[in-house]
Amino acid sequence: MHIFRTVSLRFRLFFTYAAVSLVVFSLSFALLFFKVREDLTHRIRTELNTSNQTITDMVETTAMVSIKNHLRAIAEKNREILAYLYQEFLQGKISESEAKTRAIRVLLSQSVGDTGYIYCIDSRGTAVVHPQDGVRGRSFAHRRFIQAQIKNREGYLEYDWKNPGDTQTKPKALYMTYFQPWDWIISVSSYKEEFSKLISIDDFKDRILGLTFGKTGYSFIFDIHGNIIIHPEVSGNVIDIRDAKGVPIIREMVRQRKGFLTYFWKNPSETEPREKFVAFDFIPDYGWIIASSSYTKEVFSPLPEIQRLFFFILLLALLITGGVTLAVSGSITRPLTSLILRLEKAADGDWSMRLRQTREDEIGKLSATFNTFMDKIGAYQKELVTEIQVRQDAENQLKLFEKVFENANEGICITDRDGRIEAVNRAFTTITQYPAGEVIGENPRILKSDRHNPAFYQSMWTSLVENGYWSGEIWNRKKSGEAYPELLSISAIQDKSGLANNYVAVFHDISEMKTKEEQIKHLAYHDPLTGLPNRSLFKDRLNQAISDADRTGEMIQVLFVDLDNFKNVNDSVGHARGDELLREAAKRMLSVTRPGDTVSRLGGDEFTIMIPHIQKTRDVATMVKRLQSVFREPFTLGSHVFHITVSIGISIFPLDGEDVDSLIKHADLAMYQSKTRGKNQFRLFKSRMARQVEERVKMEADLRAALDNEEFQVYFQPQMDPGIMMPAGMEALVRWVKPDGRVVPPNEFIPLAESSGLIIPIGEQVFQAAIHQGLMLRQATGMDLSVSVNVSAKQFEDRGFGKMVADLLSRENFPGNRLEIEITESLLIKNSRAAMKRLETLSELGVLTAIDDFGTGYSSLAYIKRLPITTLKIDKSFIDDLSRDKETRVLVETIVIMAQKLNLGIVAEGVETREQLSILSQFGSVEIQGYLFAPPMTADRTREWILNREYRLETTA
């Protein structure tokens, strides 16, 4: 069975089919064979039996005929004898009884065979003649065969008879003739078993010998004693004859009487015994055995042929089954084999294998499935190959990264998005002294030093979040606690959605670099003798301090310190001692400074000290006192003791200079001044600004005084109506007329008056004077002149302003609509809601409002429309450009047109030339104010000017 499994499917199928066919065919054949054989046997038996029967019949018929004839002959002879005797009687030769007696004697004297006899009955059935005495005269009419005799009188008859004394009936036969004269039925009877002697064998011998079976089969007859009666070759007694195996076949047949036997017979002419069989039957009437024998082989002669036929059919069947099986199994296994072949190729990596799809059965489906399978596998394989490649690449890259990561000289630290450390490399440990195990899971905060303020870290995170990147120098702390600088760059590793998944920090310990840099810096920026910063570092620091102070509004002190009489030290004890003293002096100076202050040596015995973050100028003295106190102590150089004092000059940022050089220069200067006064002195530099401040303070005081002394006067500058070339109004312009007669222009004191708040009382005085004198001018000239008064923002915003104007108008009885206030655009813009309210209150009084310096500010007509503005005063700068610049001309013309549309009055300020005048007059109705007609003048002068009609222009000029 195991071997069977290793054999290919095809041969398995083949062998199975072949074996099954073989078995089936063999079985069928065996069945057929035995059936045929049995049939043959049966047939031959039947034939032999039939033959035996025929022989039996033949013998019996022949016997019967012979016996019948024999008995008849006897009967007829005896009837003739009776007829003769009766003739004798008739002729009278003998009496009738004589004749009968003689007849009876003759009849009874005759024997038929061994035991047969002749008897006579009359037609009534009474025995007339019979060998046994007791029988004669008895009637046997009741016997059936007697009745048949009575009825037929002539003929053959067979019957069973039991003689008195016998125990059994025996078959008998008789032939009867009728002798009518005496009514005698002459019967010749005999026992059938005795007939054989009566049979004439020659009657059927030839016929029996003519019977053949097969080729050489024959029939023969012998009696129960073994005497051959009929046999084609043998005669005599054969009772003891035995076959080749020693079986006494004749005796056996005699014993069995009827049956069938096989035996082996060897003919004298033959060397080998051959199987024979014999069918035999017994004819008891004659004690004969009839046998028919034949060679088995001859009987079964069709069998070998059948066998041959069978083997031929079997072979043919095997061939056909084999062929068909091979073909069928091949049709199944061939696609399988081809599938296997392709699978093998596929297993070797050839994924292009496909099966041809020509069928629709399971094989076809298998092919289709295989192809689909291969397609899929191919696709998967391709994907796999790609993926493997990608993975390999990624892996290689990862390995590379790992190597780089591990072996990098830079410390690398990777955190998750929450800042927990996930990995660090060797350099990280080398630099920070933290082994990886101690920091994984921690926050990099553990490395944080206290050198940076929260804002620093804040900006770092902002940059990380916004740009995903930060780099810079940072101080961190080692495990030992030692702080070190590193060059750090942090990158956020973002996922696809842009969220930071990890942060990678790469850093470089730059302590060494820093130290070297520091050393170089130190060398470059320090004085080798004292180790103090040198001039350039001092300047750097000062510069830095200045920009800081600019922001904070604090002040900086710069002290220029010079050792007094240092030259003597050098001269008396030498330069080495001198250097020693310088170092000691430096030490002492350092001892009185605070962190943030800078002491530097400029060279020789000159030092500078910078003290930032000064809030008040009077702090200046503190440092000086401290310095002087540390120098009170004498310097001991070897055996020498020196008393050294210092001369100090001080400059203050921003009062004494706004840049490094001027501050140092001014401090130096102050030091010289102090030195000229004697040793151990100090002096502050007197700055321009300090002077200005002083001036301001003085002027403020002067202004107050001027206010009290009523030194402010109002000048008037006429405004001309160009249509009629007559004054329409005048602008009141303040002047400070000092007691010495000097006239100070408003630009020099108005700003101070505004910042000090003095503008309110000054403004009030101006208003009073302007309205008072304006009223007088109106009366004196009889012209309906308007008065314009300048109002600064401070004044306008003052709560009392509106009331002040209203009171003044009513007190002086001045027409409100002839008063015009001049305000600036910026005022309106800055405070438009409150300004609007104020303007409305004034306009209720009829007061006019002019926008001064129009065009220099926002120049928006939009808000002017919303405000109760009545006049625009075009700024002098536009007027200046009128004749020079075309664009300005267009602009001014536009303003004029717009103003007219809005129903606003227009004044052109600072008109100095006729050209300007003529250009302006082309635009439309513009009032003219300017030196072309008149400068600001005192009220008296103005009155004169008007009355003398000095406003008329010389047409020729």
Q: Which is nearer to Ca ion, 668 or 853 (CB)?
A: 853
- Counting other chains too, the contacts that 658-666 makes at CB distance below 8 Å and 24 or more residues apart are 658/546, 659/546, 660/539, 660/542, 660/543, 660/546, 661/539, 663/542, 663/556, 663/558, 664/539, 664/542, 664/558, 664/560, 664/608, 666/558
DSSP 112: B
Please state the closest distance from residue 890 (CB atom) to ligand C2E, in A: 23
Summary count for the chain: helices (H), strands (E)? 29, 33
Q: For the chain, percent helix, then strand, then coil, each to nearest 5?
A: 50, 25, 25
Give the chain's end-to-end CA distance (angstroms, integer).
148
Contacts to Ca ion by CB under 5 A: 790, 822, 852-853, 909
Q: Which is nearer to ligand C2E, 85 or 911 (CB)?
A: 911
586 binds, among Ca ion, ligand C2E, none (CB under 5 to 8 A by kind): none
Q: Which is nearer to Ca ion, 563 or 907 (CB)?
A: 907
Reading the block at residue 715, the tokens are 């000048």
**Alpha helices, DSSP H only, in 637-735?**
660-676, 688-708
Reading the block at residue 844, the tokens are 């209720």
What sign results for the dihedral spanned by CA atoms 803, 805, 811, 815?
negative
Please state the closest distance from residue 745 (CB atom) to ligand C2E, in A: 4
Please state the closest distance from residue 790 (CB atom) to Ca ion, in A: 4
Q: Which is nearer to ligand C2E, 91 or 747 (CB)?
A: 747
Q: Which residues, 6+ apart, have CB-to-CB distance to 768 below 8 Å?
A: 808
CA distance 696 to 699: 5
Please state the closest distance from residue 898 (CB atom) to Ca ion, in A: 19
Please state the closest distance from residue 823 (CB atom) to ligand C2E, in A: 10
Please state the closest distance from residue 772 (CB atom) to ligand C2E, in A: 14
Please state the closest distance from residue 781 (CB atom) to ligand C2E, in A: 20
Contact call for residues 568 and 679 (beta carbons, < 8 A) = no
Q: Which is nearer to Ca ion, 444 or 936 (CB)?
A: 936
Q: Which is nearer to Ca ion, 47 or 822 (CB)?
A: 822
Reading the block at residue 764, the tokens are 């009030």
- Crossing angle between the packed helical segments 362-407 and 302-347, to the nearest 10 degrees: 30
Reading the block at residue 806, the tokens are 């209203």
Residue type, 419: G
717 binds, among Ca ion, ligand C2E, none (CB under 5 to 8 A by kind): ligand C2E
Please state the closest distance from residue 854 (CB atom) to ligand C2E, in A: 11
Please state the closest distance from residue 894 (CB atom) to Ca ion, in A: 20
Burial annotation 351-367 (CB, 10 A radius, 16+ → b, else e): bebebeeeeeeebeebb
Residue type, 679: K
Q: Which is nearer to ligand C2E, 486 or 822 (CB)?
A: 822
Please state the closest distance from residue 873 (CB atom) to ligand C2E, in A: 7
Q: Which is nearer to Ca ion, 652 or 874 (CB)?
A: 874
Contact call for residues 773 and 714 (beta carbons, < 8 A) = yes
Q: Which is nearer to ligand C2E, 581 or 835 (CB)?
A: 835
In terms of phi and psi (left: phi > 0; alpha: psi -120 to 50; beta: otherwise), the region of 710 is left
Q: Which is nearer to ligand C2E, 412 or 827 (CB)?
A: 827
745 binds, among ligand C2E, Ca ion, none (CB under 5 to 8 A by kind): ligand C2E
Reading the block at residue 379, the tokens are 């696709």
Contacts to ligand C2E by CB under 6 A: 717, 732-734, 745-747, 750, 763, 766, 790-792, 822, 852-853, 909-912, 929-931, 935-936
Contact call for residues 848 and 817 (beta carbons, < 8 A) = yes
Please state the closest distance from residue 655 (CB atom) to Ca ion, in A: 34
Please state the closest distance from residue 796 (CB atom) to ligand C2E, in A: 9
CA distance 192 to 160: 10
SS (H, E, C) 592-639: CCCECEEEEEEECCEEEEEEEEECCHHHHHHHHHHHHHHHHCCEEECC
Strand 598-603: give its sheet, edge to edge. 598-603, 606-614, 555-563, 646-653, 682-684
Q: Which is nearer to Ca ion, 177 or 790 (CB)?
A: 790
756 binds, among Ca ion, ligand C2E, none (CB under 5 to 8 A by kind): none
121 binds, among ligand C2E, Ca ion, none (CB under 5 to 8 A by kind): none
Please state the closest distance from residue 930 (CB atom) to Ca ion, in A: 11
Residue in the structure block whose two tokens are 């920091």:
439
